[in-house]
Chain A
């Protein structure tokens, strides 16, 4: 059982608060991804779990035991570093077996375990080589093998794929996830790449500015982001966030922005607000009366074959200068040219409304049941 708990964890570097009020519970065997932009505190949080940084306040529990003041080497956690951190003067075999040799395990036993781990990662033919003779992908596997062989309570990954080229990243992603599922070890994984988060995680922890913004399964976060940040962070191309005003007029509550007018639920208060529209939720004009209809002028088209990305400008009919910028993502290939007017529709249930501080307004869209 390797459950992990962060309780009230905070980290200050001098006057800067790098991590604030970090509370998280991770169940045994879970693959949790900490994701966010640079500087959001995800790596620092991971390092506090590893014992490489000391929290300014709060506690960390492993299997219910407080390990906040336990030194790294006694925590039984294994970490894969961004640069892999392989010992340059040791062979692959010695690198993998280093931690075992420190435990004074008999040579034969070390060899056996190292061979097993190496085989699992398909690097057993590289055991005699030195790190400088390996490719990036191979080094990464050695780093992973080094962690596996320790049979730790949990795996910690610090952006392990960021030094690989795109193609390799895709296959490495899958392999790491498969490996973790086979071993069933609790894993905490840090990345800035939302694709890795979406595809690998059991649960995602989105961080920004040192704080946790939202925790949930990938789909939960995707479908029901609780703030503009999460909505625009996950998914590519990102959610369209259109700034506008909420106004009461003639008994209706409306969200208005150039080219857009959406009826809102009655509980929404006046003031500035943001409307979130996922690019893929825009469809070519339908006849459905419940759908929101809009039209925009095509600015730029990216034809990807399987889908087409279209940058549009929505403007009010009065021909004013204010424009709402929207990206639409339509399946298949559409022949369009700049300047063309494109009528679109969207199901109201896929719209999201955020208040002026970025938090979601639940049930904000009229006629869109939660």
Chain B
């Protein structure tokens, strides 16, 4: 009964001709991967890499985005103009403040939090879920929410502060404090995500090593500095570099929503400045020049970090 279906199995099909025809055609698959890669490569080329070059070009012309007007080549004068402007000074200083403040809050603070959660194992689920919530909501949502809370007239912050006898000033209206509000908000939003990044880095550490070190008599401190910290440095590097690169962009939304760079340019940064040049005053040349300077600045920051961390890593070995 079984054999009926398979009885024809043995009947050999004349494969001779078929194989011969196939043999004649050389199977050249050398172009196939390119087909699969084409969308990605084209998209990245058109929307990421080519624009980089174009920005460099644009920084050397004077134009206001009007297709009717020509873009006049002006060499490096845009750079001088932008760098000499008063806005630039504030923007530059603020950028440094943003980055400097972000490091302890967004890069270092998550580490002990992550370590603690790691030690809790499965019982930390509740904390993790809550920490992750800010990642799901947008900066707009966060910005609006905090604007409401910090509302100088009857916002909750003011009312709660009043209940314990503190008079809360309009934080967003004062040049000294506005920038810290923005820093606080962006850290609030990003903390949870960075904690998770560190957790992922910690998860890859095999607990067996820790057990072995304990058996060898190592205390918590030794275990941390000799085993965990070195294994965590790649994650740290990653978080540090991405924080530096992306902080400026992250605070854009709160700035745009809440202060528009003010009061008195106290919350603006290089990114916002470039935005204003490019899309508010439509000074394309200036915007592009500002962008290139920003780019150079970022490269410098990354370079410095890589060197500094390199040395630290070497000390540890």
On A, residues with C-beta under 8 Å from B are: 1-2, 62-67, 69-71, 74-76, 112-113, 115-117, 119-120, 148, 151, 153, 183-185
Contact = CB atoms under 8 A, between A and B. Distances in A.
A153 to B, nearest CB: 7
8 contacts: A66-B23, A67-B19, A69-B26, A116-B5, A117-B5, A120-B6, A153-B12, A183-B10
B260 to A, nearest CB: 53
Contacts of B16: 63-65
A63 B15 contact: yes
Nearest to A115: B5
A74 B12 contact: no
Contacts of A2: 12
A113 B23 CA distance: 29
B136 interface: no
Interface in B2-39: 2, 4-6, 8-10, 12, 15-16, 18-20, 22-23, 26-27
Contacts of A70: 19, 22-23, 27
B8 to A, nearest CB: 8
Nearest to A117: B6
Given A71-B27, A113-B5, A65 B10 contact: no
A184 B15 contact: no
Contact of A69 (B4, B12, B15, B27): B27
Contacts of B12: 1-2, 153
Interface residues of B, number: 17
> Interface of chain B, helix or strand or loop or mixed?
helix
A184 B7 CA distance: 11
A62 B5 contact: no
Pick from A2, A64, A151 the residue with the most CB of B within 10 Å. Answer: A151
Nearest to B6: A116
Contacts of A112: 5
Contact of B20 (A65, A120, A185): A65
A342 B20 CA distance: 66
B237 to A, nearest CB: 34
B23 A65 contact: yes
Contacts of B6: 116-117, 120, 148, 151, 183
A67 B23 contact: yes
Nearest to B9: A151
A62 B2 contact: no
B5 to A, nearest CB: 4
B203 to A, nearest CB: 24
Contact of B15 (A116, A148, A153): A153
Contacts of A113: 5
Given A63-B15, A183-B10, A184-B10, A74 B22 contact: yes
B13 to A, nearest CB: 8
Contacts of A62: 15, 19
Nearest to A62: B19
Interface in B157-203: none
Contacts of A184: 10
A116 B7 CA distance: 11
Contact of B19 (A74, A115, A148): A74
